[in-house]
Structure 1
């Protein structure tokens, strides 16, 4: 289902807004920085879903642009019928950040989705926005143009939250094969959580604060779901009609309360919003917080990243300018789709390529950060609220230390870049990020060893099929 949270700049102590959230996928995850790439004039990209999807499709292609932007985000290995690797969002060199969140369409729209639907799926749209958009609004326009030209492969409805230093946009793409989508602008005073994605009342004229295709209102009227002259509630007309869900109301109201305090919202509030056990558990595949800053050098664009749900894991700042990712945080065999039937050798080539893993042997011989932090998560969960709070307290202290380093690291990299040595700036950022990621990984292993020893000496490991978990609101 995933979770996204946008905070406008006027509400923040830092003077810039934030985009945060996580993805819900029970699969392998890895953090990746994708460089700028030039593409031949005849280059194409493959998009869509396969016959395995809940709403089946066939893959299709359309032209790639001549040059794509540098970006980073978390890839994952599986969603039904969608070819991997998949991505729910991240941030690009222009400061455009994206989150992807499920948004159920009206049942009648799902039922009328044609069996031969074509076009980009939810992950394709996230990736293409990261590759192409220079502003959040341009990201919305790219999605609209792609749907109009190439269609959309829906699994029942979806949304994106796209943001830059100036504004945010909630974009909902509807099932039905009718090319229906709508986007609502979020400004500097906005607080918006998506889980699932939703838009309520909108102006019935496209403009600065709302965008939709020309046939959007007419389609609702033709199908008898909206009467001319009535207020247009997007969720009621084209969505599931359930409005603002209880979990969304809770986190938006809590953020508004915190924003009313003297000084406004800070990084610690954003960390709390993605790490509170009321919202975050095992289903959160990772955590992301992107500062929506203006006029930031490309290499200093960054996001705070947690390899699993931040309820028991730290968020570590990762810069777009780094040259490599520690293999522990890269693509791994842990939870990789199909890896249970594959080998890392050449003996089994005779049985077909599907028997051979494409994970490098060196990567497979390292620790998986996802596996290490998942182990710590479930050890802490077995100890109850007290242990969860204890682990969280530790990581929040670590994050404060990491935040205190940021200004010096960024200033050092800027000095090197301004002196004509950008390669040294990238090396500085790479070694800084690598050191911090590996340090918290070692700490996680030490914490897990301690909690396991305490469990074995006390209540014992929970070997039942009923997991012990925090009480989540969703």
Structure 2
């Protein structure tokens, strides 16, 4: 399902907006840097879903653009048969951030989705926005154009939050292969959580704050789902699940509104809490992201705070657009990677049994998986919630406070180097510093997990039942 939250700049203590959230998928996750790239005039890319997907379809190609933008993202290996690698979004060099969040379409739309559906899927759209959009509005227009030209492949409907330092948009894409989508603008006074993504009433025609295709209202009327005489079209009631704001969304939006009303407004710790609280975040959260939406002096200085699992027991660590590489520990590993159980780190079977060689390099596989280490710590904490979960939650938040105190000096140092034309030295500084922070967090998690396992064993508290323990979550 995933989760995203946008906080407009008028609510922020730092004077800029925020986009935060996590992915929610049962597979491996890894951090990666996609460099800026040039492409041949006749280049194409493959998009869509396969016949093996939850809602089957056909893979197809669409034209590539001459240049794609540098971006940071988290990728993962499985969700409902969508071909890997998959992404829910991240941050690009122009300051456009994306979060993908499930948003179910009404049953009739799901039922009319043809088994040969074609066009970009939810992950394709998130990646293409990161690769091609210079602003959030460009991201909306890109999704609209892609759906109009190529269609949309889905597993029942989806949504995206696309944000830049000036504004954000909620975009919902609907099942049914009818090229239906709708977008709502969020501004400096907005606080919006999505899980699932939702939009309420919309005007009769597109405006500066609401966008949708020409046939959006007419199709609902033709199907007998909407009568204009009864008032404005409620998108969630007519095209969605009809439930409006889910309980978890209502709770976190109300909580953040209360924090925004304080004299100090919303701070970085508040934003982190909104995706780390155990009431919302557990094992299904495959990672965490917090993006401060601002325009620094140089694009290389853009920051994304990253946690390798749900941040309920893991600190978010700053990573930079200007980094040249990610530590191997935070890259792909075989742990929970779909298909790896049928592969070897051995080439002897390569010629006679198809896809039997691991997609993970041997040198990467022998490093500790940050994803696996932090998952272990999470599940140790869930077995002793009082007091271990609270202790580890507080420990992660103290680590983030230390990083937040160190971050301005690192950014200023890199800025000075960039101002002097020393791009190579600036990128080296950002890469080395981020790697140090990430690996310190990993080593911390390893030590904490060893101590926590001994603690549970001594207490006889290891849960060996078929029912995993977890916090009481709203969703």
TM-score by length of 1: 0.99
The answer to whether the Cα contact below 8 Å between 2:384 and 2:461 also exists between their aligned partners in 1 is: no
Q: Closer, same or farther in 2 for the Cα pair 1:340/1:431, shift >3 Å?
A: same
Question: When the two structures are aligned, how many residues end up with a matched partner?
Answer: 474
2:194 alignment counterpart: 194
Once the two structures are superposed, residues 268-301 of structure 1 have per-residue CA deviations (whole angstroms, 9 ceiling, x without a partner) of 0011001100000000000000001035421111
Q: Which moved more, 1:378-387 or 1:96-105?
A: 378-387
1:299-314 correspondence runs (5 A): 299-314=300-315
The answer to whether the Cα contact below 8 Å between 2:296 and 2:302 also exists between their aligned partners in 1 is: no
In 1, the alpha carbon distance for the partners of 2:302 and 2:155 equals: 32
2:331 alignment counterpart: 330
2:70 alignment counterpart: 70
1:418 alignment counterpart: 419
In 2, the alpha carbon distance for the partners of 1:88 and 1:414 equals: 30
Once the two structures are superposed, residues 137-182 of structure 1 have per-residue CA deviations (whole angstroms, 9 ceiling, x without a partner) of 1100000000000000011110000000011100000011110000
1:429 alignment counterpart: 430
Q: Does 1:206 align with 2:206?
A: yes
Q: CA deviation at 1:7?
A: 0.3
1:139 alignment counterpart: 139
1:58 alignment counterpart: 58
Q: CA deviation at 1:129?
A: 0.3
In 2, the alpha carbon distance for the partners of 1:331 and 1:54 equals: 25
In 1, the alpha carbon distance for the partners of 2:272 and 2:131 equals: 27
Secondary structure in structure 1 of the residue aligned to 2:99: strand
Q: Does 1:263 align with 2:264?
A: yes
Runs of at least 4 residues off by over 6 Å: none
In 2, the alpha carbon distance for the partners of 1:12 and 1:80 equals: 37
1:2 alignment counterpart: 2
In 1, the alpha carbon distance for the partners of 2:215 and 2:358 equals: 47
Secondary structure in structure 2 of the residue aligned to 1:183: strand
2:344 alignment counterpart: 343
Q: Closer, same or farther in 2 for the Cα pair 1:296/1:8, shift >3 Å?
A: farther
Once the two structures are superposed, residues 48-107 of structure 1 have per-residue CA deviations (whole angstroms, 9 ceiling, x without a partner) of 001111211010001000000000110001122211100001000000000001101011
1:390 alignment counterpart: 391
In 2, the alpha carbon distance for the partners of 1:346 and 1:223 equals: 56
Secondary structure in structure 1 of the residue aligned to 2:333: coil
Once the two structures are superposed, residues 178-210 of structure 1 have per-residue CA deviations (whole angstroms, 9 ceiling, x without a partner) of 100000000100000000111011122212100
In 2, the alpha carbon distance for the partners of 1:228 and 1:80 equals: 36
The answer to whether the Cα contact below 8 Å between 2:68 and 2:132 also exists between their aligned partners in 1 is: yes
In 2, the alpha carbon distance for the partners of 1:177 and 1:345 equals: 43
1:402 alignment counterpart: 403
In 2, the alpha carbon distance for the partners of 1:91 and 1:136 equals: 11
Structure 2: runs of 5 or more not aligned = none
1:19-30 correspondence runs (5 A): 19-30=19-30
The answer to whether the Cα contact below 8 Å between 2:80 and 2:155 also exists between their aligned partners in 1 is: no
1:44 alignment counterpart: 44
1:364 alignment counterpart: 365
2:16 alignment counterpart: 16
The answer to whether the Cα contact below 8 Å between 1:385 and 1:470 also exists between their aligned partners in 2 is: no
Secondary structure in structure 1 of the residue aligned to 2:393: helix
Once the two structures are superposed, residues 245-289 of structure 1 have per-residue CA deviations (whole angstroms, 9 ceiling, x without a partner) of 111000000000010001210100011001100000000000000
In 2, the alpha carbon distance for the partners of 1:387 and 1:403 equals: 24
In 2, the alpha carbon distance for the partners of 1:116 and 1:131 equals: 27
Secondary structure in structure 2 of the residue aligned to 1:435: helix
In 2, the alpha carbon distance for the partners of 1:353 and 1:308 equals: 32
Q: CA deviation at 1:346?
A: 1.7
The answer to whether the Cα contact below 8 Å between 1:106 and 1:238 also exists between their aligned partners in 2 is: yes
Once the two structures are superposed, residues 359-385 of structure 1 have per-residue CA deviations (whole angstroms, 9 ceiling, x without a partner) of 111001100001100010011111124
1:145-294 correspondence runs (5 A): 145-229=145-229, 230-294=231-295
In 2, the alpha carbon distance for the partners of 1:224 and 1:26 equals: 38
Structure 1: runs of 5 or more not aligned = none
In 1, the alpha carbon distance for the partners of 2:228 and 2:200 equals: 17
The answer to whether the Cα contact below 8 Å between 1:157 and 1:174 also exists between their aligned partners in 2 is: yes
In 2, the alpha carbon distance for the partners of 1:49 and 1:402 equals: 40
1:378 alignment counterpart: 379
The answer to whether the Cα contact below 8 Å between 1:25 and 1:285 also exists between their aligned partners in 2 is: yes
TM-score by length of 2: 0.99
In 2, the alpha carbon distance for the partners of 1:204 and 1:290 equals: 34
2:471 alignment counterpart: 470
